[in-house]
Amino acid sequence: MNTKYRIALLVLFLFALPTFAQPTRPNIVFIMTDDHAAHAISSYGSKLIKTPHLDRLAREGMRFENAFVTNSICTPSRAVILSGKYSHLNGVPVFNHIDNTQPLVSKYLQAAGYHTGMIGKWHLGGNNPNRPNDGSPTGFDYWNILPGQGAYFDPVMIEMGQRKKLTGYATDIITDLSMDFIKKRPTDKPFFLMYHHKAPHRNWQPAEKYRKQYENYEPPIPATFDDDYKGKSDASRNATMHIDADLNDTDTKGKPPAGLSGAALKKWKFTRYMQDYLACVQSVDDNIGRFLDFLDQSGLAENTIVIYTSDQGFFLGEHNFYDKRFMYEESLRTPFIVRWPKRIKAGSVSKSMILNLDFAPTFLDAAGAKIPADMQGRSILPLFTGKTPRDWRTSMYYRYYHPGHHNVAAHYGVRTSRYKLIYFHKLNQWELYDLQKDPGEMRNIYSEPSSAKTVESLKKELQRLKKEFKDDDQFADKLPADDVG
Ligand code: CA
């Protein structure tokens, strides 16, 4: 071989080396909506709505049927996702701003060489960027957030500390900004984007197109709509999130027709609620479609992990409720769909129990970064093979704190694949459900003699989990003040 060839081969080898030594790390897009129940997505079997673009994501990826949150409410769930820790350790049990000096997954990914962005609803503070540690996003190369809950129409957004009023519908705007973030990124780095919608949060203001499409829509009534809470704790009765008693004129965008009362009024309120809620979801679905098309056109689909989830589930009339908070299924469960063409077989479904606590470790694992020992979740990457590791969790720990809004009594509990035990500790009342026989959670079997053994073993498991996750009742007596708007 002559010298010229030798040099050429050497050059080729040196250029090829980094490709072999360091496979291209995937981009990660984390799409999260606010209050989008899994049972308002058609691929989850919804009878309420068709969501073709979310269904496309599920068809091309993996849909998780048992994704749960550890504290079913906006601000706390977001802190769990960013920190990989339960509320009692990340310091955000209620609507209080996050201590943004603590380690967060965004900071770990940034340190691992990712270009990081946070766009849309943050809801962990950041309303007063002049105050240090005000809860504004940290660990992000670029951020542009709604202040507090944000507005559906012509929203103000805070871009890296600067307030700007934008024109248009929030769901469209947040998608546009997310695509801009990707277009403007440095292409020599993988990116991590948190693309967070405000929709379909209360008070459910749809885009005009879908408001009109849904104005005569008659939603099917859920099976547990007329739950009278007989045999249950006082928590459901005391809660102020009932369809009939608590949906107000702002929620229904006007007063009910004169003369309506009782069951007819309840049905009217439910119908108005569902029309607007589903119309908001329809815009989300459209925008997910637009975003997926954009990834295709940019040539990014193949090496980008796309996740779709919500900060928690939501009641769509079940148990006469709207809102979330309770450990009951509709609120505890959140949608979770992930597409990663290189690693996930299209159209797969996982029944393994995953938690929002697992998201941060999962991002780090996918990025090839070390998962800090103090994160409490577990990477779900092994589940992408379609198999469940033998030592995967078979129970989960839940704890809700907020005493104020909607008057839902604080509670904690454990859910296994078959049972759910809930302790409303301030009321000193228990509930136990057999999810196999009673998936609608209508019959509290806690006090039935035949439940004694189950109660005993679940109480043990509850204490074990509480200990494992270092819940020493840190916030049992004194909660931080709500300050995130
Ligand atoms: Ca929420």
Q: What confidence tens digit (pLDDT) does each residue in 78-116 have?
A: 999 999 999 999 999 999 999 999 999 999 999 999 999
Separation CA 157–CA 175 (nearest Å): 13
Q: Is residue 398 part of a domain?
A: no
Q: Is residue 17 a part of any domain in this protein?
A: no
Q: Quick one: average pLDDT of 426-441? A: 98
Residue 50 domain-assigned (yes or no): yes
What is the Cα–Cα distance from 415 to 252, expressed in whole angstroms?
34
**5 in any annotated domain:** no
How many structural domains comprise the chain?
A: 1
Question: Strands 419-424 and 429-434, how do they pair?
Answer: antiparallel
Ligand 1 centre to CA of 311 (Å) is 5
Q: Residue 8 corresponds to which tokens in the numbers above?
A: 């050429």
pLDDT of residue 2 exceeding 70, the answer is: no
| Confidence (pLDDT) at 21 | 42
Q: Residue 66: which pLDDT band, with cuts at 50, 70 and 90?
A: very high
Residue 293 lies in a domain: yes
Q: Find the 3 Cα to ligand 1 centroid distance in Å.
A: 66
Alpha helix segments (H runs only) across 298-417: 329-332, 359-366
How many angstroms is it from 406 CA to the middle of ligand 1?
14
With 50 as the cut, is the pLDDT of residue 354 above it?
Answer: yes
Read off the pLDDT of residues 198-249 as tens digits, 9 standing for 90 and up.
999 999 999 999 999 999 999 999 999 999 999 999 999 999 999 999 999 9
pLDDT at position 477 is 84
Q: Is residue 429 part of a domain?
A: no
Q: What is the DSSP string of 36-91?
A: --GGGSGGGT-SS---HHHHHHHHHSEEES-EE-SS-SHHHHHHHHHHSS-HHHHT
Q: Is the pLDDT of residue 20 over 80?
A: no
Give the structural domain span for 102: 22-383
| Nearest Cα to Cα of residue 75 among 196, 248, 233 | 196
Asked whether residue 12 carries a pLDDT value surpassing 70, the answer given is no
In the numeric block, which tokens belong to residue 108? 């770990």
Distance 280 CA to ligand 1 centre (A): 14
Q: Is residue 120 in a domain?
A: yes
Distance 484 CA to ligand 1 centre (A): 13
Confidence at residue 53, expressed as pLDDT on a 0 to 100 scale: 98
For position 179, which CATH number holds? 3.40.720.10
Tell me the C-alpha distance between 32 and 179, whole Å: 15
- Residue 389 is encoded by which pair of tokens? 């590791």
Q: How far is the CA of 5 from the centre of ligand 1 (A)?
A: 63
User: Ligand 1: distance of its center to the CA of 201 in Å?
Assistant: 7
- The answer to whether residue 156 is domain-embedded is yes
Q: Which residues contact 440 (CB under 8 A, 6 or more apart)?
A: 223, 224, 318
pLDDT tens for 122-173 read 999 987 767 778 899 999 999 999 999 999 999 999 999 999 999 999 999 9
